[in-house]
Structure 1
Amino acid sequence: MERTGCAVVGGGPAGMMLGLLLARAGVDVVVLEKHGDFLRDFRGDTVHASTIRLMDELGLGPGFRALPQSRLQNVAFPVPGAGLVTLADFDSLKPPYNYVAMMPQWDFLDFLASAAKAEPRFTLLMECEATGLEFDDGGRVTGVRYRSAGDTAAGGEQVLHADVVVAADGRQSVLRRAAGLSPKEYPVPFDVWWFKLPRRTPGRTGAAGVVPAIGDREAMIALNRTDYYQMGYLAPKGADARIRAEGVERFRRRVAALRPDLADTVGSISSVEDLHWLDVRLNRLRRWYAGGFLCIGDAAHAMSPAGGVGINLAIQDAVAAAKRLAPDLRRGQVRTATLAAVQRRRWMPTVVVQTVQRIMHRAVFVPLFAGKFPSADAAGNTSRLRQALLFAIRHNPVLRRILPRVIAFGPLPEHAPGFARPLTH
């Protein structure tokens, strides 16, 4: 019979961070990842200042900064009649946490996995897909059922028993469903179609940009990669069948119209099969836990891509969970009250971020995809209200100090627990 202290399902940012921290706490921890590697495109990859600071606190800062990455120095948005408006300039923050790092998520996960594997209490099982939960007679979760790539026995399932099972298996969490937990869904007006375009001048760059190109009922963003752009096409939710039915040539024309400077590269989109559809969700569980079981990250609260905060909020969940779980796990008994404490700690920042995203959806994306995005008049003038808002964003010293910090660190950022910090830190 296999047994561990903590079984973490999902080798994403939340799962890998939790595994690393608990291993440094002297707890036996096993992370199960259903894929054979982390090489999957089109996943969140904005690493905010809160996470960069955490890397430093864990003694991983130099290695993290050596990874291929570009730096986002500000957040800007095009406003009709006003040009490009900078909402947050990270240069106003104290170095070295005055930027957001943009990097492929697989590089970040490989880096975390390497750091975790250096801990003797850490085990990573790749190609092991969770299929369900084990319960005792009282309904408490006692382990996780999983199937590995090498299973040949009838049924092919194995059981890993644990003092606590943590679901970090994303917005389509198998274990959340097995535990009988279901999230409350909030309306989202758009989906995203990810694809690649080649860069004319491949190579590592120091600056990153995510300024959206705005069209009629559509928008697009571009993220710098070493030898290509990761493009995100945004259109009304439910448009996937229509976009694919229109064919690749129509989609190429859409891209070229939004980004004329990239028009000569759209031929690299060979078919609509090159478009990776993201069904954008915004939801959260009312209760993140059951006896012996906890959800964190997207399994507890799926985030909209608006603001690019998903990775960072998930990592903050992992840090908060590690701090509270480690003492119980050392004693060999995880109390339900401890699991509830994790949710209490992370509830406020989750609600705040999701509320901001819902406001952004209503204020920006709903009118955009309804063809009612506010525009300037014939003379290029904006309304008095918008002029006042733009003036406040550009010139109010309080807003100019607060907005960059809120975006870079988020509400209630977590610090590395003492047991996870290197002795020389």
Structure 2
Amino acid sequence: MTERTTCLVAGGGPAGMVLGLLLARAGVDVTVLEKHGDFLRDFRGDTVHPSTQVLLDELGLGERFAALPQSHVDEVRIPGDDGPDLVVADFRRLRTAHPYIAMVPQWDLLDLLAEAGRAEPNFHLRMDTEVVDLLRDGRRVAGVRYRTADGRTGEIEADLTVGCDGRWSRVRELAGLRPHEFPVPIDVWWFRLPREGGERATLMPAMRRGQFAILIPREGYFQIAYVARKGLDAQLRAEGLDAFRERIAQVAPQLADRVGKLESLDDVKQLDVRLNLLRRWHADGVLCIGDAAHAMSPIGGVGINLAVQDAVATARLLAEPLRRGRVRGADLARVHRRRWLPTVLVQGLQRAMHRGVIRPVIEGRRSGPPPAVTRLLNLVPGARRVPAYLIGIGLLPEHAPASAKR
């Protein structure tokens, strides 16, 4: 059976849900396909940045978001070996309604967006529904073929198909769009350890003895990213659980008394870090945004923020062409042009961080950030506002179009 929608969004992550909600509020019929049956997946990005919180305020969702279980991170602090801690970014210095990063389980945020979307007659969310192929009218992408969890198949015709389906995007692959891959020296291993009630909610990168980890405070636990050279996973698992616990105790001594709470290496999930960029984000009838257009390194935790801002720009620039029923290549190119520069600049900063900060630490050549950066941040505390702005606000923050505000 063939159905019809104006805009088909593949992927119910932050970019897909924000895009669907904004287009529906602009009067565009939009269908979001999410291949999973719910949003309950662990170790996804759970950072909601100040600019995204401002967007939620503009959408009339701020109070409901504030009621979600969350912790607030107001600074990034590197513990000192023998001296005082180094504050790298101070979000309290930002001139914004929300001078902090909110740590919220991503499934709660997505449930909130889904609930807001269901209040719009033009919004249709289909769970357990996966894109398996693209429909074509000549060279133009004209919709998708899908398969549901129970094996049913069908087709949905669409004026525009948007790939919001992540860094392994099926839409991108089927559309023949190939990203340029940048070399990445690291992978990340995620796991949890308990967090005691009196421990401050501070984002803490830990660097020492050739080791690197990031401690992310959550309600009742630390979500920990252990960062090491790419391709180390087999060796880590061959060394065994006790050796991995010792690695964590060395890099983060404040956690040495609780590494025994990590009961199995099955609880340690590897992230194959990728950093790539589509040279062209669109083809006739199809557009990719978010991780489908530009996979980001986890360094800085900015991937979700960029994906959401992509979605806002896409909704603002394409709502009118979609309402007219005629989306041209020039319209899709406007989205690419709008979001290309901030994406390239952020990826350039991440690549510089890989070279200048992460690689020297994991190779044992340094036990902290570059000395010049440390001197600058200690001598000029106001300089901490710069990384806070880059992480929390972004280089080109997007605001909700008038049609979406409540």
TM-score relative to the length of structure 2: 0.94
Conservation of the 8 A alpha-carbon contact between 1:394 and 1:400: no
Residue aligning to 2:383 = 399
Post-superposition shift, 1:176?
0.4
Post-superposition shift, 1:94?
2.7
After the TM superposition, which residues 268-279 of structure 1 pair with which residues of structure 2 at under 5 Å, given as runs? Answer: 268-279=261-272
Conservation of the 8 A alpha-carbon contact between 1:129 and 1:148: yes
After the TM superposition, which residues 87-126 of structure 1 pair with which residues of structure 2 at under 5 Å, given as runs? Answer: 87-126=88-127
Alpha-carbon distance between aligned partners in 2 of 1:332 and 1:25, rounded to the nearest angstrom: 14
Matching residue within 312, 324, 327 for 2:305? 312
Residue aligning to 1:148 = 148
Alpha-carbon distance between aligned partners in 1 of 2:314 and 2:101, rounded to the nearest angstrom: 24
Distance 1:217 1:420, change over 3 A: same
Alpha-carbon distance between aligned partners in 2 of 1:212 and 1:88, rounded to the nearest angstrom: 11
Residue aligning to 2:16 = 15
After the TM superposition, which residues 16-415 of structure 1 pair with which residues of structure 2 at under 5 Å, given as runs? Answer: 16-78=17-79, 83-137=84-138, 139-151=139-151, 156-201=152-197, 208-373=201-366, 386=371, 389-396=373-380, 399-415=383-399
For residues 270-302 of structure 1, what are the alpha-carbon distances to aligned partners after superposition, in whole Å with 9 as ceiling and x for unaligned? 222111110011111000000000000000000
Gapped regions of structure 2 (runs ≥ 5): none
Alpha-carbon distance between aligned partners in 1 of 2:76 and 2:91, rounded to the nearest angstrom: 8
Alpha-carbon distance between aligned partners in 2 of 1:248 and 1:129, rounded to the nearest angstrom: 36
Distance 1:419 1:47, change over 3 A: same
Counterpart amino acid of residue 257 in structure 1: Q
Counterpart amino acid of residue 128 in structure 1: T
Counterpart amino acid of residue 318 in structure 2: L
SS at match of 2:87: strand
**What is the RMSD computed on CA atoms of the aligned residues?**
2.0
Distance 1:389 1:191, change over 3 A: closer
Conservation of the 8 A alpha-carbon contact between 2:209 and 2:367: no
The percentage of aligned residue pairs carrying the same residue is 56
Distance 1:134 1:242, change over 3 A: same
Distance 1:198 1:394, change over 3 A: closer
Distance 1:260 1:371, change over 3 A: closer
Post-superposition shift, 1:263?
2.9
Conservation of the 8 A alpha-carbon contact between 1:102 and 1:208: no
Counterpart amino acid of residue 197 in structure 1: L
Conservation of the 8 A alpha-carbon contact between 2:317 and 2:334: yes
Alpha-carbon distance between aligned partners in 1 of 2:384 and 2:364, rounded to the nearest angstrom: 31
Post-superposition shift, 1:95?
4.7
Matched length = 405
Gapped regions of structure 1 (runs ≥ 5): 376-381
Alpha-carbon distance between aligned partners in 1 of 2:384 and 2:220, rounded to the nearest angstrom: 34
SS at match of 1:223: strand
SS at match of 2:256: helix
Alpha-carbon distance between aligned partners in 2 of 1:287 and 1:398, rounded to the nearest angstrom: 38
Post-superposition shift, 1:79?
6.2
Conservation of the 8 A alpha-carbon contact between 1:218 and 1:236: no
Conservation of the 8 A alpha-carbon contact between 1:7 and 1:166: yes
Alpha-carbon distance between aligned partners in 1 of 2:387 and 2:44, rounded to the nearest angstrom: 25
Counterpart amino acid of residue 90 in structure 2: D
Post-superposition shift, 1:65?
1.1
Alpha-carbon distance between aligned partners in 2 of 1:193 and 1:87, rounded to the nearest angstrom: 23
Alpha-carbon distance between aligned partners in 2 of 1:198 and 1:80, rounded to the nearest angstrom: 23
Moved more, 167-176 or 362-371: 362-371
Post-superposition shift, 1:256?
2.5
Distance 1:127 1:21, change over 3 A: same
Post-superposition shift, 1:391?
3.7
Moved more, 312-321 or 184-193: 184-193
SS at match of 2:274: coil
Alpha-carbon distance between aligned partners in 1 of 2:13 and 2:231, rounded to the nearest angstrom: 27
Post-superposition shift, 1:183?
0.7
Alpha-carbon distance between aligned partners in 1 of 2:251 and 2:82, rounded to the nearest angstrom: 18
Alpha-carbon distance between aligned partners in 2 of 1:110 and 1:176, rounded to the nearest angstrom: 26
SS at match of 1:212: strand
Moved more, 52-61 or 337-346: 52-61
SS at match of 2:16: helix
Moved over 6 A (4+): none
Counterpart amino acid of residue 167 in structure 1: G
SS at match of 2:383: helix
TM-score relative to the length of structure 1: 0.90
Counterpart amino acid of residue 146 in structure 1: Y
